[in-house]
Amino acid sequence: MDTLSERPYEIKSKDVLNQFMRELAENKGIYEDLRIKTGADAEWVKEFINESNWDFQSLAKIQSYHQNWQIFDYVASNLGKGFIFYFICSRCDKRVKYLYRLPNSEIYLCRNCNRIPYTKNQRSKAFK
């Protein structure tokens, strides 16, 4: 079994975006419900996040001086009730919900680029 120090550090796009929206509300003095309701709202948030001239702690966690700026993208939800934000992997340019940083690395990449296998279920079919 992997020890904690050998496991890759995982970040989730939804968590980063939620932290960013809370921090944006606090910095701008907005105390109303900050929800991304329209395509224009989603595009504004995407452009704002993808700029590199801001100082937000929530987004600074995933930026490092060893990699290019971390880019976000979004798609409309298939339920028609909002938008789903994704990271863009800086190596393969794929849309991903999770980025991983290996213990000896400073760069956040997707599971494929970091060559992280999915864990197999160790239980036998008899116990299912």
- Paired tokens of 46: 């995407």
- C-beta separation of 114 from 94 below 8 A: no
Q: Can you say whether residue 40 is alpha, beta or left, with left for phi > 0 and alpha for psi between -120 and 50 degrees?
A: alpha
pTM: 0.67
pLDDT tens over the chain, length 128 residues: 444 345 567 778 888 888 888 787 777 665 555 677 788 888 888 887 777 666 676 666 666 555 567 888 999 888 877 888 899 998 999 999 998 888 888 788 899 999 988 877 555 555 55
Q: Can you say whether residue 26 is alpha, beta or left, with left for phi > 0 and alpha for psi between -120 and 50 degrees?
A: alpha
- Paired tokens of 106: 């400073």
- C-beta separation of 72 from 34 below 8 A: no
